[in-house]
Amino acid sequence: MRVPFKKNIIVFILCLNITCILAQNKIPKIQVEKGEATTAFIEAKIDSIIAVLTLEEKVAMTHAQSKFSTKGVARLGIPEVWMSDGPHGVREEISWDAWENAGWSNDSITAFPALTCLAATFNPELANKYGYNLGEEARYREKDVLLGPGVNIYRTPFNGRNFEYLGEDPFLASTMVVPYIKGIQENGIAACVKHFALNNQEHWRDKINVEVSDRALHEIYLPAFKAAVQKGNVWALMGAYNKFRGQYTTHNKILHKILKTDWGFDGVVISDWSSVHSTKEAALYGVDMEMGTGTDGLGTTTSNHYEHYYLATPFLKAIKNGELSEDLVNDKVRRILRLIYRTNLNPDRGLGKLNTKQHHKVAREVAAEGIVLLKNQDNFFPIQDKEGITIAVIGENATRNMTQGGGSSQLKPLFEISPLQGLKERYKHAKIIHTMGYESGPSVYDATIPAALNQDSLYVKAIEVAKKADIVLFAGGLNKSYHQDSEGDDRENFALPYGQEKLINSIYEVNKNLGFLLLTGNAVGMNWLPKTKGVIQTWYLGSMAGYAIADVVSGDVNPSGKLPFSFPKELNDNAAHSFGEISYPGNGVDQEYKEDIFVGYRWFDTKKIEPQYAFGYGLSYSNFTISDVKINQAKFNKNDKIKVTFNVTNTGDREGAEVVQVYVGKPKSKVKRALKELKGFAKISLDKGTEKTASVTINASDLAYYNTEISDWSLEKGTYYLYVGNASNNIKKKIKFIIY
């Protein structure tokens, strides 16, 4: 029977509506209301979304669509995921598909101190404030993932990226990274702990195959990642470029099992840019988001460029032909959707803030508290602001921009207060004069471009200026140029570059009142040390650098920073540099961490080598005593807590803070061990002439070593010692105890 045309249309519209209603019921409501966002509710919602996603949509979510974003699913209202560097500030907007800035005018931010400075504060509460304020800026810049923190252990003073990381000790790095991550993620921004794992140098980073023992892997190189995952609940993690035991770390079978099976990581593994090299391995060994892959020009436009990624068309084809299971892409999408519900679709996240006074205050606070006073002969520091005195500030680092360069962590701050500006603003009575002294060269990317100014004239001028001054402050060190403190390659000399040593020696000849502001993210050769009366390690401090440096130089702030890594007297005193090329930098293919667990002070202690400056060392304008050190009992089992109590007295004439460090060692052991290892610390602030009783609590189970015979941790019974002091080489009290 022919249905009249009009009725036909009505029937068609009715069918369409029913289909839509049915389909509507199948397509889940993506949004989550406040209070609904319980884990169970989210997981159920994820299940319902995966059920209606096409295979093409799922695969598309697992790789980049641009330099710093991945696809969403528009038809379902699933948003894209946007990410940005970096660990100490939100990077300027990068072009959609090119390594160049997008030229925005609203992406200037607060540059916080580099993380080596944060580690030097030994202040976990401050790490949380740092993370929270940085996370506010990432939120305001509408990012979902902030590509930081970096926690790779400081193994060699040559590593170009040490300035971005938290030093040589796994306990310090673990203790500082957790509150930093929590602070960031309180904003509904995912932190992304990196680079997992064993990326401890930049030279040959994209190919070097690291061989290291299981003990050193688990006791030295993984703990900060494990803490980030299990204590920090980090929502994202970045794979590294290098190989481990012959397989790329970004999709490494061993590391994948440790991360997702053993540790229970439920977040997203983001590759480093171009660190994926195999569809099958990326699919099987845990890559959830493939970023930055070079497709050798296969992509002719920004649209189809990304179709050639390992987790793009090749992955889709492998699933369709049954070579790879669809379960693999489902797990990746589940993790990505979980990330989206923790960030973009999180109903509880704020709107963020940018360049606020609070952000500047925190940046200055971290900077001033992380600065380390290394030498202070004749109370050279603090320098009084007195009429009639002339202070000569000499050195390129007095004015050099230190937020540009250094690689992916470079920033475009709203402002950057230079050391010279900070000192000029603080010293109203003393006369500040300045000359450059030396010039490193105009480019942070190409060290071969010669300096523009005549080095001899700079040198001569510097001596002249030094002669006229009562006090000389030399602002030198390294910088963010290639082969200095920069990503992409390593330093090639341990000594200060750009003729600084010769200049310092010559300045000393005309003015003995010489102090050094050492702007570096690494240890450097210090043959020039006897020519100085005072040395301040000032790190890379970001937007508020000059103010923080002036705070400490003037005495407005009493320095309380402690070194997060050792300064060797000679490069070959360092563990990694004690075993020839195969140990560092490797032979171009393989590298062996022959020092094993003896990294940093562990090496100096055990080999009885005196460092120039030790891990945990830092002076104050005050003096402190540590006394009456006690332990709560003499014998402990694995479930007990070891409580160390002590008194700290400020015997100086001003307020200050001391970091009491508690190390533990086991002299007689069935396995090789370092003399002692940091297992706790407490930063105690004290007014002048006052005393406080404080304590550090250590879980006895945390004294276990990684037992390679059982591939798990073992707590050895027997005699141990506590070492309590204010530096790894300045122990005030040693107490014996038993584990039974």
The site for ligand GLC (CB under 6 A) is made up of 85, 147, 194, 272-273, 408
**Range list of H helices, 616-658:** none
β-strand pairing of 624-631 with 656-665: unpaired
- Closest CB 422 distance from ligand GLC, rounded Å: 29
- Closest CB 673 distance from ligand GLC, rounded Å: 33
Is cis: bond before 149, omega within 30 of 0? yes
Distance, C-alpha 182 to centroid of its chain:
14
Nearer CB in complex with ligand GLC: 161/679:
161
- Closest CB 162 distance from ligand GLC, rounded Å: 13
Q: Is 687 a catalytic residue?
A: no
CB 476 within 8 Å of CB 517: yes
**DSSP assignment of 508-554, as one string?**
HHH-S-EEEEEE-SS----TTGGG-SEEEE----GGGHHHHHHHHHH
Nearer CB in complex with ligand GLC: 194/218:
194
Nearer CB in complex with ligand GLC: 114/674:
114
Backbone angles phi, psi at 582, to 5 degrees: -65, -25
Counts for the chain of helices (H) and strands (E), in that order: 18, 27
- Closest CB 194 distance from ligand GLC, rounded Å: 5
Nearer CB in complex with ligand GLC: 202/281:
202
CB 156 within 8 Å of CB 584: yes
Q: Using DSSP, state whether 479 is helix, strand or coil.
A: coil
C-alpha count within 13 angstroms, C-beta hemisphere, residue 160: 24
The span from the CA of 451 to the CA of 466, in Å, is: 22
Burial of 37 (0-12, 13-18, 19+ CB in 10 A): middle
- Closest CB 67 distance from ligand GLC, rounded Å: 8
- Closest CB 254 distance from ligand GLC, rounded Å: 21
Nearer CB in complex with ligand GLC: 148/437:
148
- Closest CB 244 distance from ligand GLC, rounded Å: 16
CB 611 within 8 Å of CB 569: yes
Nearer CB in complex with ligand GLC: 294/580:
294
Nearer CB in complex with ligand GLC: 151/362:
151
CB 85 within 8 Å of CB 114: no
Tell which residue, 668, 126, 79, has the closest CA to residue 364. Answer: 126
- Closest CB 120 distance from ligand GLC, rounded Å: 21
Burial of 2 (0-12, 13-18, 19+ CB in 10 A): exposed
Q: Which of 272, 288, 489, 490 is catalytic?
A: 272
The span from the CA of 189 to the CA of 382, in Å, is: 40
The residue of the chain with the least Cβ separation from ligand GLC equals 408
Nearer CB in complex with ligand GLC: 305/434:
305
Nearer CB in complex with ligand GLC: 147/504:
147
Q: In which element (H, E) is residue 118 found? A: helix 115-121
SS3 content of the chain, % helix, strand, coil (to 5): 30, 20, 45
Torsion, Cα of 656, 546, 661, 572 (10° steps): -140
Is cis: bond before 195, omega within 30 of 0? yes
Q: Which residue has the tokens 């030399």?
A: 474
Nearer CB in complex with ligand GLC: 78/193:
193
Strands (E), 340-470: 372-376, 390-394, 431-435
CB 590 within 8 Å of CB 208: yes
Residue type present at position 129: K
Q: Which residues are catalytic?
A: 272
